[in-house]
A = this chain, B = another copy of it.
Amino acid sequence: MPVVVTDIERADADVAAAMARLGVATVHEAQGRTGLMHQRLRPIYKGAAISGTAVTCTLPPGDNWMIHVAVEQCQPGDILVAATISESHSGYFGELLGTSLKARGVRGLILDAGCRDIRELEELGFPVWSRSISAHGTVKETLGDVNVPVSCGDEIVRPGDVIVADDDGVVVVPRQDAAKVKAASEARLAKEEASRARYQAGELGLDVNDMRGRLAAKGLVYMTQAEWKART
């Protein structure tokens, strides 16, 4: 039975909003290298960086009806996550739906299928991460679900989770972990800032990270070209 769940619990809005600045790579590292969607999800234009709370929906092949249903469930600060139940490259989303979502304060769309009107969406300033770019139109015949857990980009997204998306891809942070992951991300960034200064000054990662002893212990051997040729 297709359902729309209407009263999902969202991650804290301020925490969710703050994650965009931290970046996908950092957030994914800070939660133990989990939650990163498959690299097939790419931004339709470069430079967007967003974060917000997930509203989810599932889409039958070539059918975008449930996006219309999902729009109504969105609030300002949300990001819509639209998963398909079978690989599909039709253009499920375009400028009119982008206009509608933007009018509701939605920050962007994660779409594991095709997107169209990409120039218009860039002009509108409504970012989409999609699997393909395709103009092929969709029908409105078959139901799916809104605000149930979905598998999008090979990751589980539950309604209310935090989504972070930028030029590196898309990561999902479980709702209940959001504050903890935000703090861990900030700590990681601070540490990287310190390392960056050392790298800029010409120090090597081998020394910044104290790797030489462990490399030798694993058996790494340095040799001259002449020595190498003698072996082979």
Contact = CB atoms under 8 A, between A and B. Distances in A.
A215 interface: yes
A14 interface: no
Interface in A1-54: 1-9, 23-25, 28-29, 32-34, 36, 38-39, 42, 46-47, 49
B86 A87 contact: no
Nearest to A211: B68
Interface string A61-74: 11101011101100
For chain A, give the interface size range: 35 or more
Contacts of A215: 65, 69, 143
Given A62-B63, A204-B100, A151 B148 contact: no
Contacts of A72: 204, 206
A162 B88 CA distance: 25
Number of copies of this protein chain within its complex: 6
Nearest to A43: B133
A125 interface: no
Interface of A: 1-9, 23-25, 28-29, 32-34, 36, 38-39, 42, 46-47, 49, 58, 60-63, 65, 67-69, 71-72, 83, 85-91, 94-97, 99-100, 103-104, 112, 114, 116-119, 132-143, 148-151, 154-156, 166-169, 171, 174, 176, 192, 195-196, 199-206, 209, 211, 215, 218-225, 228, 231-232
